[in-house]
Amino acid sequence: MDFWRAIRSVFSKYAIFAGRAPRSELWFWILFTTLVGAGVGIVDRAIDVLIGDDWGALGALWGFGTLVPFFAVCVRRLHDIDRSGWWLLLFFIPFFGGVLLIVWFCFPGTRGYNRFGANPLPPPPGPRHRERGQ
């Protein structure tokens, strides 16, 4: 899944926690929200200098606006490795929980169907056989 397709997929499934999400969808989403968040932070700083407000309103709007799809894509990613979305609560265990989730998010998804649905990625192409005589 390419970058823009992953972003469109997450936004189109804004609050859908059912189904599966491939690794690329989650990691491209994290990259996208980080880059946009940095840009919003720069704009917030510029507004702070101009207005004198201590609270970054744009950053808060961006953070709250992307919180639900972030949790949704994380749950769908856990589903892809055949784990319940409740495992996302490991995040609240200091250090260990976050590290374990990051490691799990790096695992490839289960092939074919699992209890959460079909594989979100198309199957890889089969082996190419050379014809005899070439």
Is residue 128 domain-resident? Answer: no
For the chain, the domain total comes to 1
Amino acid found at 76: R
- The 10s digit of each residue's pLDDT in 42-91 is 888 887 765 656 667 888 899 999 999 999 999 999 999 999 999 999 99
Rounded Cα distance between 39 and 45, Å, is 10
Is residue 98 domain-resident? Answer: yes
- The 10s digit of each residue's pLDDT in 113-125 is 999 998 888 776 7
Is residue 117 domain-resident? Answer: no
Range of the domain at 49: 3-106
40-46 long-range contacts, CB within 8 A, separation 24+: none
Q: Can you give the pTM of this predicted structure?
A: 0.84
